[in-house]
Amino acid sequence: MKISRDQALPAGIGALLLAGLSVAATTTWAGGPPSLQALTWDVVVNNGDAMPTDSCDPAAPQSPPCRRFNSYNQPSVNARGLVVFRARSRGGTGGQPVHGVYTRDMEALGPVVKTLDRDTVVPQPNNRGEQFIEPPSFPRIDIASDTIATRGNHQPVWQVQDEEGEIVEQLGTTGIYATPHGPLITAASKLGGVPAFSFFAVPEAPGTAFDVFPGAPAVTDGATIAFKGNYTVGVVAKTGVYYRDLEDQDITDPDGDPLGPAGGSNPVVLIANSTHTLIPGTNPPVVFGSTAPPSAANREAVFAGFDNEDNPTSGGIYLAPLVPYPLAQQPNLTTLVSIGSNVPGEANAQFNRLGEGVAFDGRLVAFWGAWGAETTTLRLYCPNEGNQARIDYCKSAASGSTFDPDVDNWYQERQVPDNQGIFVHDTKSGQTTRVARTGGDFADFVYWNFSGRAPGQPAGEDDEGELARWRSATFAAVAGHGGASYRSAFKARSGLIDPVTHVYVNPVDGIYLVRGPGQPQTLTLVQTGMPGTLLDSEAVDPDTEEILPITEVGIERDALRGKSLVINASMGTEEAGWAGIYLARLPKP
């Protein structure tokens, strides 16, 4: 079937394909659950939109020529419909591609607004006038306010001089940046070793600066960030979870001169670390060996932590109250779910794996878990696109990969749990319910990506500075709508792994929705293979006039807030395709 972007769809097919029109609830799609939820999808941004930059007015994109959006990470949204997302343009004759963080108010249907890009000067402290290079993870937003938080990488922003004015040190190559009072400010930074900026230091190691802030920082209560931080004591690597209250106050430089706009000088507060924080309930006592980036809402944070990240025997998912400064202190942790606890809906089964990417709306927590010893071998082939040094490292024996002459590529193998699922925990009632599990409709909830820094290379656009390796992630979100009732959205794969080649045969990835608690029906929101015009009427090949199929979908933990759900999706291929970010208003339960 062919269709131009300006042509009406044939009768009977238009109702099925055009974004904004309903899809019959009885429609079925191969590879997924039997019920398709009819939703109206609004375009937040797509490849036809000009990027707001310092040299471009999107209202007049041809004078001067403007770059257009091209690719997107998973978006986040607050309860009133303000969407924040990371996006990029193509490179080409105009120079380097534009990378940045942007917002759009979908309640007012306002314009796309730039928060930061590669032309944005890093907020104070910054005595070198450095600009951002990259926001290396998806940005997040407070559920109840318009405050966003994002990581940012850049060249050193602070130079230290001796008494003769000679530069003796240059510091600060990454940080967390937020908008609690309007302008973008530095919320956390690698400058904790500078005495004037000691409030950025690791609280349990005074004078020690953080090395990096892995993952995506969370924000709550309008001006409180919660984040994971790594640091080094001597030659020993440490990690922890922290929070910091931001105030609408200037800070001062080493000479006592004011620097602003800034977030005041309240210190970072420890939640849990791998130095001395005991895992609740362990006997004999065990210290956390790893922690994961938290989620936060209603001045509480939820995070996953384990004794051993790769093979946990203790640990779980924990809730911590974030007491405001100056009364702030390391909080007592409440265990929500733990390694070894019973799996809801399964007889004589205990969790032996829990996901790091937990979602939290202030009451409800969505998470991934696995149980049992049964696994299936999955072969992971090295990517052919992206950072060339990282690709070359993946395609080498040094990374642990093996060459497959049949497909002329390198691979590694991982064991995927046969028994895994998505769960929702109610922090008020203490009840955990199962949202979905493998078997039947779904084969897998775990997704893999080869990411990190290639040996001999500096930290790049999308890594934490750690050596490149295969990393896994799961994706789920949750939003309550009164009492214990909730809706949870998650990403899942259907299909079979070939027992000889160990790769998926014709897999289908999708975003699905359930209503809980109880044993609710699973609703399909969008799947790969569906027509792209289900989301975006412009998802049509301009040369062939063919409707582009959906090829990728994405969702993150802050994607479902109130009645708003946001996703990113790609149609066709990157070279001859379409992509964008899309928002749906869920109907009343």
Torsion region of 439: left, alpha or beta (phi above 0 gives left; psi -120 to 50 gives alpha): left
pLDDT at 125 over 90: yes
What CA–CA distance (Å, rounded) separates 43 from 50?
Answer: 14
**Per-position DSSP letters for 187-233, written without gaps between them:** EEES-TTSGGGGGGS-TTSTTPPPSB--S--EEETTTEEEEEEEEEE
Beta bridge partners of 342: 350
* Residue type for position 316: G
Give all strands (DSSP E) within 498-576, no chain letters: 504-516, 523-527, 550-554, 560-561, 564-572
pLDDT value, residue 237: 94
pLDDT digits (tens, 9 = 90+) for 477-524: 999 988 889 999 999 999 999 999 999 999 999 999 999 887 668 999
Residue 472's Cβ-count burial label (10 Å; 0-12, 13-18, 19+) is middle
pLDDT digits (tens, 9 = 90+) for 422-456: 999 999 999 999 999 999 889 999 999 998 889 98
Tell me the longest C-alpha to C-alpha distance in the chain: 80
Q: Are strands 409-426 and 364-381 parallel, antiparallel or unpaired?
A: antiparallel
pLDDT at 174 over 60: yes
Task: Please give, one letter per residue, the 3-state secondary structure of 278-334.
Answer: ECCCCCCCCECCEECCCEEECCEEEEEEECCCCCCCCEEEEEEECCCCCCCCCCCCE
pLDDT value, residue 92: 53
Confidence of residue 465 (pLDDT cuts 50, 70, 90): low
What CA–CA distance (Å, rounded) separates 548 from 134?
Answer: 30
What CA–CA distance (Å, rounded) separates 78 from 74?
Answer: 14
Tokens of 455: 């040996």
pLDDT at 458 over 70: no
The answer to whether the CB of 514 falls within 8 A of the CB of 437 is no
Confidence of residue 540 (pLDDT cuts 50, 70, 90): very high
pLDDT digits (tens, 9 = 90+) for 181-229: 999 999 999 999 999 999 999 999 999 999 999 999 999 999 999 999 9
What CA–CA distance (Å, rounded) separates 536 from 18?
Answer: 7
Tokens of 261: 């706009």
20, 126, 290 from 27: Cα distances, Å: 17, 56, 45
The answer to whether the CB of 580 falls within 8 A of the CB of 569 is yes
pLDDT value, residue 483: 83
Q: 325-337 b/e with 16+ CB inside 10 Å = b?
A: beebebbebeebb
Beta bridge partners of 77: 83
Is 360 or 2 the better-scoring residue by pLDDT? 360
Sign of the CA dihedral 175, 150, 302, 296?
A: positive
pLDDT value, residue 63: 61
pLDDT digits (tens, 9 = 90+) for 47-105: 999 999 888 877 776 666 788 999 999 999 999 999 999 999 987 555 688 999 999 99
Task: Please give, one letter per residue, the 3-state secondary structure of 394-416.
Answer: HCCHHHCCEEECCCCEEEEEEEE
pLDDT at 468 over 70: yes
Beta bridge partners of 412: 380
Tokens of 585: 């208003």
What CA–CA distance (Å, rounded) separates 438 from 483?
Answer: 28
Q: 141-171 b/e with 16+ CB inside 10 Å = b?
A: bbbbbbbbbbbbbbeebbeeeeeeeeeeeeb
* Residue type for position 165: G
What CA–CA distance (Å, rounded) separates 294 from 550?
Answer: 31
Average pLDDT over residues 13-35: 34
pLDDT at 28 over 50: no
pLDDT value, residue 18: 29
- Residue ranges covered by each domain of the chain: 175-335
Residue 129's Cβ-count burial label (10 Å; 0-12, 13-18, 19+) is exposed
